[in-house]
Structures are given as structure tokens and as C-alpha cells.
Structure 1
Amino acid sequence: MIVTDDDADQTWFDLAAPVVEKYKVMTTSFMITAWRQDAAPNPYVLRRSHTHDMHRAGDNGQGRMVNSSADEIAADLEMSASVLGVKEVVAYPFGHYNDVTKHGVAQAGYEMGRTIEPGYVSIGSDKLALPVQRVNYGMGLDALVGMIG
């Protein structure tokens, strides 16, 4: 199991980061690097890409990740990597992606892409379309345990 957050919102840094530090739980914070570039709040928070500046709607109301060319996506992710110092995984803004998106991610040298599609990663999962188990505000411990086993 990998604990992640999307957007690197200040409330997550203020409320969750101290908890993950206290319990020594490694987490991944997907940062929109056009909005935030500060250092990780503690050694248990890994900063990874939520794109540089593609967390906006494109012409058709879908995210820019499905409205841009592979070259544009790769250029944005290169900018994000230059801020974060790592190319590894990107969380697709709004969960929107398609084959062009995946090509741009691979072209930029990223190994994985995380969707918002519910599911579990298993051997043979598409590394550029990894599913997730979403934890929502107010979800109790019993619901969480039931979801992840």
C-alpha cells in the first residue's frame, strides 16, 4: 500500500504530514509545481508530479492532459521534474488520460502514471494507468479497513 495525496494542499501538509512523521509512514504528495515548489515537510513525504501546469481544463472541459500533444505533455512534465528533481510517477490531473497522455508521460521519461480509477495494482498492471483506492473526507476506520483489507 502507498499513501498519497493530490495537489499538495497546505491543509494536507499541516494536518497529515505530522501524523505520517509520527508513525513513520512513507507517503507521496503529488505536487502541481506551478502552484507550489516548497520542500517536503518531513522525510516521510516524497514529492512527485501532479504536472507543472496542466491541472486546468482544456477546450472540451476535460483536463489539459487529454487536450495536449505528447510533446506538450512531455515538456510540462520536464518542467515539473526540474522542480522536483525526480522523474518517476505522475498523478493525472482530474484522473484524465488517454493514449496520447501516456505517450507524453513515457516520452518525458516517467515510469508510471496514476489514475483515479478504482482498483488494485497487480502483476501485469499498465504502469501508465495505475488504479487507486480513494479515501474520502469523513471515511471511518472500518470503511478504510474494508476497502484495503
Structure 2
Amino acid sequence: MSFSVLMYHEIRKEQEFNPEKPSHIDVKQNYDDILPSPLFVTLEHFEEQMAYLHEQNYQTLTLAETKDYYRGKTISEKSVLLTFDDCFQSVKEYAYPILKTYGFRATAFVVTSWLQDTAKEFNPKESVCMTKNDLADLSDVFEYANHTHSFHQRSNAETSKMMEASDEEFSLDLDTCNEFVGVKDVFAYPFGLFNERNVSLLRKKGFTLAFTTETGKNDRQTDPLLLKRNAIPYFINLDTFKKIVQ
């Protein structure tokens, strides 16, 4: 038995999304980056995907259920874990009401230094991070896990600030993020970048699940600190989506 993990970041109405002009991020931390177009999904496709999961009786896994699977418990043959990275406004604007309608659960990975102090008006031209109060408003659908406090920055395409940090610095950063997030033993590697030292430290600190951006399904032979996730980009059709989750 295996399961798929789906990775989302940003959602836009098709008419408001231009893949040739991806969004700059707007976060509290002094860091600027551009969110690549494949990390966007259109609202129309997202609605279609969630409707399909509902119609086909898929179970949306919680993190506790995922941990239990690796302790030997069974899960439904139709199980999927929904994850959203970075906590941008479209999660509240679009994803939350759709997930709530279907009774779905989801996980959001939080970069705590990115959370805004004051809520901003939704802006489809920028990837604006939410506030802690926003996340509290979504907590009947979402649970929150660690995506670092301040190390979601990249030096180049192959190296993140987390990878350059010492074990002591990374450990302290994890602890700082864990002061806010509710699930304190689950992690998502920023940009999907990591090294063996990062994985070893997570293991030493008692983390039970950690998510990469390697595509594919997970089973009990998958290292739970190297779980695979499938990005769902704006350009895939429903048939391709079905192949990912089936």
C-alpha cells in the first residue's frame, strides 16, 4: 500500500495568472525572491482536482495518520496527503473554503519569520504571506509544521541557507519555528534542498517525517525523513492529476 503527497504553493484564477510574469514574494523577513510559475495552480484546476478526490472517496491524511502508517497501521487504499508550502494568502482566499466544503484536511508548512504582523489585502499580483491570526482562522482544516524559521532562502539553484548553516544554527532555527507550529516533529526541506547533515540532525532531534520535492509515491520502504512530494503545476490536466494520485 502506498500514498501520494501533493504539494501546492499558490492558487490563481486563470484569468489573473500570467506564467510569463511569476510573482515576487512579500514576506516579513528581509528576503526577496520570485515564485516560479510551476508552483502555481489555477483555481479552476484546483477546484476540479479536489472535486475528483471527493467523488472518488479519497481520504486526506493527517500528519498523525501518516506517522501511524510508518508505525504499522493501515490506511485507506485511496489516501492522499495535501500539503501547502509557505502560507501565502491564496491558501485562505481559495484553498480553505474548497477544502472545508469537502471535509478535507491539509498540512501547511510555515516559515515563521515570513508571517506578516498585519494582514494585507489579497493581491493576485504578489505572493503575500499570511499572519499568525490568519493561520489560526484556518486551523479547523489545516495543521501546521516546520519549514524553518529563517532559513527559507537560497544562495543558488543547488544550495539553501539551511544547508550552509552549522548544526547548532539549524537546530536553534528548528526550535524557534516549533515555538509556533503545532506539529513539532515534521519538516519540509526549503526548495527541496538538503544534505546528509540536515537529515541526520532531524533524526537526532526526533523528527518523524520530512518531505522532499522528489516525485513519486511513498510506501513503508520509503525513509520517512525523505518522503516524496508531487508538485501540482498550473499546466497539468485532470488525467495527469489522476495518474499522480491513483
For the residue of structure 2 that corresponds to 1:48, the secondary structure is strand
Mean Cα deviation higher: 60-69 or 70-79: 60-69
Q: CA deviation at 1:143?
A: 1.6
Q: Say if 1:72 and 1:104, in contact at 8 Å, map to a contact too.
A: no
Q: Verify: 1:4 aligned to 2:83, yes or no.
A: yes
For the residue of structure 2 that corresponds to 1:25, the secondary structure is coil
Q: Say if 2:146 and 2:186, in contact at 8 Å, map to a contact too.
A: yes
Q: Percent identity?
A: 28
2:107 corresponding residue in structure 1: 28
Structure 1 runs, 4 residues or longer, greater than 3 Å off: 58-61
For the residue of structure 2 that corresponds to 1:47, the secondary structure is strand
Q: CA deviation at 1:33?
A: 0.7
Deviations 1:79-108 (A, max 9, x none): 000011331211110100111111222333
Distance 2:205 2:96 in 1: 29
Distance 2:208 2:96 in 1: 26
Please point out which of 141, 148, 151 is paired with 1:44.
141
For the residue of structure 2 that corresponds to 1:131, the secondary structure is coil
Which residues in structure 2 correspond to 1:1-149 (within 5 Å)? 1-36=80-115, 38=132, 39-40=135-136, 41-58=138-155, 62-149=159-246
For the residue of structure 2 that corresponds to 1:113, the secondary structure is strand
Mean Cα deviation higher: 82-91 or 114-123: 82-91
For the residue of structure 2 that corresponds to 1:94, the secondary structure is helix
- TM-score, length-scaled by structure 2: 0.56
Equivalenced residues, count:
149
Mean Cα deviation higher: 85-94 or 22-31: 85-94
Distance 1:71 1:60 in 2: 24
Distance 1:65 1:96 in 2: 9
Unaligned runs of 5+ in 1: none
> Aligned letter for 1:107?
K
Q: CA deviation at 1:23?
A: 0.6
Distance 1:98 1:9 in 2: 27
Distance 1:86 1:78 in 2: 12
Distance 1:50 1:102 in 2: 14
| 1:3–1:85 CA distance, 2 compared to 1 (3 A) | closer
Q: CA deviation at 1:126?
A: 1.1
Distance 1:16 1:80 in 2: 23
Q: Say if 1:77 and 1:108, in contact at 8 Å, map to a contact too.
A: no
Q: CA deviation at 1:64?
A: 1.5
- TM-score, length-scaled by structure 1: 0.90
CA RMSD of aligned residues (A): 1.8
Question: Larger Rg: 1 or 2?
Answer: 2
Mean Cα deviation higher: 23-32 or 97-106: 97-106
Unaligned runs of 5+ in 2: 1-79, 116-130
